[in-house]
A = this chain, B = another copy of it.
């Protein structure tokens, strides 16, 4: 899609929540790891589509949040899919470095145990890449 077409793209079919946001899941294209869940407003989604780098809306800072802008850990967007009721989206991304600000590849690195949350896995480690789907079992 060309740039001017992208800017005119009708996003009104998306079921934004009361705050004008939708949850966006980021999944790494190589490892298939689910990296994080964040939120997008219309402006951040348009910017993501245009620049092909994941740009979220930070609910705490109430501002656009270009992932990697300070850390360098950008997410190159390979694909965007919407779900069947158009109120969530899935970004397939090529993650640079670690997705989590705690230096883990994925933000989902906590177990809930009897004594509370427990961090699991190793920091600064990118999981193994599963072999390609084109190979037959």
Interface of A with B (CB < 8 Å)? 1, 5, 9-11, 13-14, 23, 25, 27, 32, 34, 36-37, 80-86, 88-90, 100-102, 104, 107-114, 116-117, 120, 127-133, 135, 137
Chain copies in the assembled complex: 2
Contacts of A5 in B (CB 8 A): 114
Most B CB contacts (10 A, CB to CB) among A86, A102, A108 go to A108
Docked-complex contact A112 and B37, CB < 8 angstroms: no
Docked-complex contact A109 and B84, CB < 8 angstroms: yes
Known: A14-B112, A82-B110, A131-B137; 8 extra A-B contacts, CB below 8 A, are A13-B116, A23-B37, A34-B34, A36-B83, A37-B88, A83-B107, A84-B104, A130-B132
Given contacts A83-B37, A114-B5, contact A32 B102 (CB under 8 A): no
